């Protein structure tokens, strides 16, 4: 949590952007984007007046950084273990927490999902995360990346401001390695496939993303087929188990890319045919593995989330029961 701070600009800071100047003084705990949100929230003043992030500072300017109002931050007493959803913790130390997020759990509170989130579960078990609320009071302490509500699997959460900044930088610079498993409609013909299709907001349906967006961003996903399954009945297209390694992290990227080649995730309500696959009641997508560089030690670490029950049961029907050795083979597949 930000401690109220007063900074005086020197001659060497003349004409420097306000957000750049403040982020320099608050680094490494707070990034420039976080400082920009603080400025927008009115928590930063210059000579007693609210200013814009792009405003230039002058020598002698007195910049005051205030804490977010107490009511905007988390109250740890509101989050008791008995009341919050349970969460499986894969790893935790003084800097990071790694969890296996279940399908159906939203990452942080949002309109329509005010409670029962991953953040609620984390605060119940790690109440000190309350101090990690964003400096503008936004309710996402330590969250540096996300999984869709109905995507299961491994997620990493920062436990300190230092780690939040370091991990955010790793995601931005694409140092983090992510591996997903998906069960998709139909038999994917090619064993290997790289999908390079920019993804952005759908031009008409605003809840969807699309490869036909008017404002797309680059997106790359590497696909490897692990198994193909014959149709279970007449009219069924069969299915494929695939591993996906995304180079980028666009919203809904993997789901959009798979649908764009005619093989949406089974059960996907947005990009496939929800409820028409006869098994999954959510998109069949699981974040299997995540590799990061530890923010403090510099050690390269890998975390694996076991297969969820619906994956295990579907694969068992297909006479496939992958053990830890098989999961390792899938992760290391070239």
Q: Which residues are catalytic?
A: 148
Contact criterion met (CB below 8 Å) for 242 and 191: no
Which residue do the tokens 């949002």 mark?
Answer: 110
Q: Which two tokens stand for residue 9?
A: 């600009």
- From CA 229, how far away is CA 318, in angstroms rounded? 7
At 155, give phi and psi (nearest 5°): -135, 145
Contact criterion met (CB below 8 Å) for 253 and 199: yes
- From CA 43, how far away is CA 232, in angstroms rounded? 60
- From CA 279, how far away is CA 267, in angstroms rounded? 8
* Cβ-based neighbours of 101, under 8 Å, separated by 6 or more: 87, 107, 118, 147, 151, 152, 153, 154, 155, 287, 305
Report the candidate in 174, 329, 193, 171 with the shortest Cα–Cα distance to residue 258: 193
């Amino acid at each position: 949590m930000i401690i109220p701070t007063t900074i005086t600009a020197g001659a060497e800071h003349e004409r420097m952007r306000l957000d750049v100047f403040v982020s320099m003084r608050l680094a490494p705990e707070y990034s420039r984007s976080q400082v920009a949100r603080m400025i927008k929230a009115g928590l930063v003043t210059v000579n007693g007046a609210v200013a814009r992030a792009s405003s230039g500072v002058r020598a002698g300017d007195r910049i005051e950084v205030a804490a977010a109002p107490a009511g905007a931050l988390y109250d740890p007493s509101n989050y008791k273990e008995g009341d919050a959803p349970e969460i499986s913790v894969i790893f935790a130390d003084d800097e990071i927490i790694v969890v296996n997020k279940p399908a159906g759990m939203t990452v942080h509170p949002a309109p329509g999902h005010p409670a029962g989130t991953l953040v609620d579960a984390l605060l119940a078990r790690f109440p000190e995360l309350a101090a990690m609320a964003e400096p503008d009071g936004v309710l996402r302490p330590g969250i540096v990346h996300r999984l869709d509500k109905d995507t299961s699997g491994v997620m990493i959460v920062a436990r300190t401001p230092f780690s939040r900044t370091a991990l955010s930088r790793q995601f931005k610079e694409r140092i983090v390695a992510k591996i997903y498993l998906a069960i998709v409609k139909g038999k994917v013909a090619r064993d290997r496939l790289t999908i390079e299709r920019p993804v952005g907001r759908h031009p008409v349906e605003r809840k969807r993303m699309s490869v036909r967006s008017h404002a797309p961003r680059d997106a790359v996903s590497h696909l490897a087929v692990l198994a193909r399954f014959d149709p279970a009945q007449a009219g069924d297209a069969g299915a494929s188990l695939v591993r996906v390694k995304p180079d980028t992290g666009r919203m809904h990227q993997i789901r959009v890319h798979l649908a764009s080649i005619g093989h949406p995730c089974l059960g996907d309500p947005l990009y496939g045919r929800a409820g028409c696959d006869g098994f999954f009641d959510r998109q069949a997508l699981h974040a299997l593995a995540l590799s990061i560089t530890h923010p403090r030690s510099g050690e390269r670490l890998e975390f694996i989330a076991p297969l969820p029950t619906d994956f295990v049961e579907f694969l068992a029907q297909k006479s496939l029961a992958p053990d830890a050795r098989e999961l390792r083979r899938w992760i290391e597949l070239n």
